[in-house]
Amino acid sequence: MLPEIAPQFDYEPIATVYLQFAAKTALPFPLLHLGGATGAWAIDRGDGLFGCAISGHGDWEALSDEALAGEIETALGLGPADWRRVIREKRATFASRPQQARPSHITTDPRLILAGDYTWGDYPATLEGAVRSGRRAASEVLARASTIG
């Protein structure tokens, strides 16, 4: 990446705890905030499979995978899961801070246009922000291509 646009960001972790229960087990809603110490969100994937997402720094980072899955099981209140899987990503998203400078999609190199949730936009690090950034970059590519030939 060009030095003048290399982002100087801090990053936030995300963990996803997958728990498999009996196939007929369901949450009362497709998306459920569990609250508690982890602040996890549970997503009912169907057939008794739940994906529980925890984002941002917190005490949960110090827990072993087994202990973290146990915390989520307790918060769900459904008893022990048939199986568990924990996936941790230490640098899952950039830490969006108030007044934080984010690079534009336009660079000093006319051959390079940036896209991603970290570029300037109205949204923090979200899928929606990444999609809007990609559309903005694609529009710029098309605009530049129309002037070439």
Residue 149: is its pLDDT beyond 60? no
Is the separation of the CB atoms in 102 and 118 below 8 Å? yes
Q: 96-112 burial by CB neighbour count: b if 16+ within 10 A, else e?
A: beeeeebbebbeeeeee
**Which of the four pLDDT bands, split at 50, 70 and 90, describes residue 4?**
low
Dihedral pair phi/psi, residue 84, rounded to 5° = -135, 150
Measure Cα distances from 24 to 33, 49, 117 in Å. 21, 10, 37
Model pTM? 0.76
- Name the token pair of 139: 């529009």
Residue 110: is its pLDDT beyond 90? no
Is the separation of the CB atoms in 53 and 15 below 8 Å? yes
Residue 16: is its pLDDT beyond 90? yes
pLDDT confidence of residue 92: 86
Q: Specify the DSSP class assigned to residue 3.
A: G
Between 93 and 82, the more confident residue is 82
> Which of the four CATH numbers 3.90.660.20, 3.40.190.10, 3.40.50.1370, 3.30.230.70 does domain 11-94 have?
3.90.660.20
Find tokens 């530049």 and name the residue.
144
Domain limits of the chain?
11-94, 97-148
pLDDT confidence of residue 82: 98
Mean of per-residue pLDDT scores for the chain: 89
pLDDT confidence of residue 68: 97
pLDDT confidence of residue 96: 78
